[in-house]
Chain A
Amino acid sequence: MPRPPADPRAAGARRAAIFGGHPDDQPPDGLVAHLVEFTEELRGEGVAVGTSELLDALQALPEVPWTEPVAFRETLAATIAKSQEDRRVFDLVFERFFFRATELAALREGVSEGDGGAGSMDEAGGDLNLDALRRQIAQAIADGDESALRDLARLAIAAFGQQGEGSGVIGVDVQRIRRQLGLRAEAQPEYPTEDPRHDGLPREQIRRFEQLLRAELERDQIERTEALPAARPLNEIDRALPSGPLSDLASVHRVVAQLKRRLKTQGNENKGAQRHAHVDVRRTMRASLETGGVPVVLKYRPIRPRRTEIYVLCDVSTSVTSASVFFLSVMHALHDSFRKMRSFVFIERISEVTDVFQKERDFKAVNTAIGKDAGVADISGYTDYGRVWREFRALVEDDLHPRATIIVLGDARTNGREPAAEVFGQIAARAGRTYWLNPEPKLYWNYGDSVIASYEQYCEAHECWSTKHLEDFVKALTAPDAARR
């Protein structure tokens, strides 16, 4: 949720406070005011920026050639954005904020490009060779020349933007111009070989060019309507770090590595001072020889960390199709980290797939192997939790012990069948800790045939459908009250 616009007086007070601290050597007044607004906006997007960080930024700016855009941005980023995620949001907000700030200033001052730059551009556009322009843009994209791209974006709009008039929707216009320029990431053999479009253009650079086009079109629109469009808060997609399916898998692995550390050390660190190490008399005596028989150095018995044994049960029925790939990747990552782990998949019945994971390293191979011959009796494709619990109990009853951890990945939708929560309760009672990760948003829990509530009394249920949630789950594991489980 974006915060409501900050109280201007509060911003003023903060500005005064900052000025009080640093009377000399300040960048100009207006800049400080803008920076305060900028940090307000960052806070609105959820980046925790303290006043001390702002002071750091102001202290750092005079040291660098801050009138250069790159130095200015990097200095602010180094002092304000303190993690990779923050940096990502910072870049987006930076672009948005300073674009709006310049445009606002231009509006106030009544500066318009209609009489200056664009006019001459139109004249130039008259006899502009469109094919030459196309090639020039493609070349600049292939070279990744930022400043050339910026200029060419304006030329492109002058040349192609006015044909048939803009649709009024900026996104549509951007795509239309891109198509007319013939910019594609794939190779286009119809162009001559010396044309960079022949071999396809770098996708990143095309994206960058589209951004520049968008900025230019927005600028035009602001000039036409003489008003700034309403500020949009960043949406989740922009904010998330760019990631392909592979890096998703990598991030799941990263989170699971954390999970491993937590599960391993948990229960040890919480006991704190109560936990006393036993003195190893033998080793202490031996060490005392060095100091003439006086036991100066006490040798302790090493503290052995607990060995976690994990049972993971994963629902692979049709109702969780979209989530099961994610879950299988979680399982895959877990297998990489824990040696003592048994995994099961279930639909109507349960079957153990520990071997599959141990044999196959590649995630895709695991995925197909499980899809093909996991041996899950799948007649109707509907989950039968009651039956699954009974079978699971029969399978592992003798092996379960209080140091085992059970993790269930499923949506708890029984399709109207008997949930057999008491059987689940017996299993949970035998195991040390039991967690349930549900791929559905909490909003849908216990609606329809979802019976998560009847299981929740025996375990800890978490909503989990992204790596973010997985991380939260790992965090919840370390919360102090989790220790008593």
Chain B
Amino acid sequence: MTDAPTSVDAIATGLREVGYLADDSTALVAFLAAKLGKPILVEGPAGVGKTQLAKSLAQTLGRELVRLQCYEGLDEAKALYEWNYRKQLLRIQAEADGTGWNDVQDDIFGKEFLLERPLMTAIASPEPVVLLIDEIDKTDQEFEAMLLELLSDFQITIPELGRVEATTHPIVLLTSNNTRELTEALKRRCLYLWLDYPGLEHELAIVRLHAPDLDEHVARRLVEVVAMIRDLDLKKPPSIAESIDWARALLLLGARDLDAKMFNDTISVIVKHRTDLDIVAERVGVKLALPQDGLGAASAG
């Protein structure tokens, strides 16, 4: 399934098939990105499936995913390309006497000695790919400026070798956790997508898609509790992936209801700071029924 998507619905169904439930605007923006060849800037709190969107998009479009994880101090050598100088040195040492410098020079600055880094791979790939530039806000502004050139022209100039132009158009996703304001210039070139924690029904659908055997009643309780926990002031609110993990854990334990005991036993799946654990136990744990009243509470509610 390598052909371009034909409609918004098609891409939504495609994403659903690979296990990603996109809401209207996500599917729409993904479709526009594929159609117009514009990069998408995805922002939102941690753990709402920003990276997963790129993975699923690659999977449903049958493209390879090229991922560039950004971090403080990332430079061009790590993102674009680098000369494999060790190999070059060996090449020069192995050279027989009497070869002119010109011959050697032509030789050592060839494709053979080039180390491709993610951005280069994405541009040079003969097949169209999905390029994921993860956590762009972690890099510095210089890198962003460099990226700007790449995103508008889809070409890289290597002084010794010439220009490498993209033969195919990659779908580019940039994700950001909003720790730093991105430059206007970069934003202007992107489609903007804000992903937030899903609503109750949406998250329930996601959980049920990934843990279809889980009892409907338990799944609903689980989603409600997760929403409650996210409302608290925590160091790290639970992500969607963690709700899915929790659902699977409950399924494995054969939980028939989400009561206080089960909650306390499994809470470490979704809350991962000691101080957060205290807060959650204090605010949410007490609201859940004790095991023996579990059935009574369930039928009354």
Name A's B-contacting residues (CB within 8 A). Answer: 48, 50, 52-53, 56, 59-60, 63-65, 70-71, 74-75, 77-79, 81-84, 87, 246, 249-250, 257-258, 261, 290-291, 294, 296, 361-363
Question: B8–A65 contact, CB under 8 A?
Answer: yes
**Residue on B nearest A60 in the bound complex, by CB:** B32
Question: B86–A291 contact, CB under 8 A?
Answer: yes
Name B's A-contacting residues (CB within 8 A). Answer: 7-8, 24-25, 28-29, 31-32, 35-36, 38, 41, 43, 85-86, 89, 178-180, 184, 187-188, 190-194, 231-233, 275, 278-279
Cα(A258)–Cα(B137), bound, Å: 12
Cα(A261)–Cα(B275), bound, Å: 23
Question: B89–A296 contact, CB under 8 A?
Answer: yes
Question: B194–A56 contact, CB under 8 A?
Answer: no
Closest chain-B Cβ to A414's Cβ sits at a distance in Å of 35
Question: Quick one: which of B86, B89, B192 contacts A82, CB cutoff 8 A?
Answer: B192
Known: A60-B36, A74-B25, A74-B29. A79 touches B191 (CB 8 A): yes
Inter-chain contacts of A291 with B (CB < 8 A): 86, 89
Question: A81–B89 contact, CB under 8 A?
Answer: no
Inter-chain contacts of A60 with B (CB < 8 A): 32, 35-36, 191
Cα(A84)–Cα(B43), bound, Å: 8
Known: A56-B38, A361-B278. A71 touches B190 (CB 8 A): no
Closest chain-B Cβ to A53's Cβ sits at a distance in Å of 6
Query: Mostly helix, strand, loop or mixed at chain A's interface?
Result: helix
Closest chain-A Cβ to B72's Cβ sits at a distance in Å of 9
Query: Mostly helix, strand, loop or mixed at chain B's interface?
Result: helix
Inter-chain contacts of B190 with A (CB < 8 A): 82
Inter-chain contacts of A74 with B (CB < 8 A): 24-25, 28-29
Cα(A82)–Cα(B179), bound, Å: 15
Cα(A71)–Cα(B179), bound, Å: 30
Closest chain-B Cβ to A45's Cβ sits at a distance in Å of 17
The 6 residue pairs across chains A and B that have the minimum distance between CB atoms? A82-B187, A74-B25, A78-B191, A82-B192, A361-B275, A63-B35
Of the A-B pairs whose beta carbons lie under 8 Å apart in the complex, a sample of 14, sorted by A's number, is A56-B36, A56-B191, A64-B32, A65-B8, A74-B25, A74-B29, A78-B29, A79-B191, A83-B43, A83-B187, A246-B231, A246-B232, A291-B86, A296-B85
Known: A74-B24, A296-B89. A87 touches B194 (CB 8 A): yes
**Residue on A nearest B29 in the bound complex, by CB:** A78
Inter-chain contacts of B191 with A (CB < 8 A): 56, 60, 78-79
Known: A78-B191, A78-B192, A362-B279. A64 touches B38 (CB 8 A): no
**Residue on A nearest B9 in the bound complex, by CB:** A65
**Residue on B nearest A246 in the bound complex, by CB:** B233
Question: Quick one: which of A65, A78, A257, A362 contacts B32, CB cutoff 8 A?
Answer: A78
Closest chain-A Cβ to B209's Cβ sits at a distance in Å of 21
Cα(A175)–Cα(B254), bound, Å: 49
Known: A56-B38, A78-B191, A83-B192. A64 touches B184 (CB 8 A): no
Inter-chain contacts of A363 with B (CB < 8 A): 233
Interface centre among A60, A246, A261 (most CB of B within 10 A): A60
Question: Quick one: which of B31, B86, B179 contacts A63, CB cutoff 8 A?
Answer: B31
Question: Quick one: which of A75, A82, A296 contacts B28, CB cutoff 8 A?
Answer: A75
Closest chain-B Cβ to A56's Cβ sits at a distance in Å of 7
Question: B32–A63 contact, CB under 8 A?
Answer: yes
Question: Quick one: which of A48, A56, A258, A296 contacts B179, CB cutoff 8 A?
Answer: A258
Cα(A149)–Cα(B33), bound, Å: 34
Inter-chain contacts of A75 with B (CB < 8 A): 28, 32
Closest chain-A Cβ to B301's Cβ sits at a distance in Å of 10
Closest chain-A Cβ to B200's Cβ sits at a distance in Å of 10
Question: B8–A81 contact, CB under 8 A?
Answer: no
Question: Quick one: which of B25, B32, B178, B233 contacts A250, CB cutoff 8 A?
Answer: B233
Question: A82–B31 contact, CB under 8 A?
Answer: no
Cα(A339)–Cα(B233), bound, Å: 21
Cα(A27)–Cα(B179), bound, Å: 38
Closest chain-B Cβ to A198's Cβ sits at a distance in Å of 13
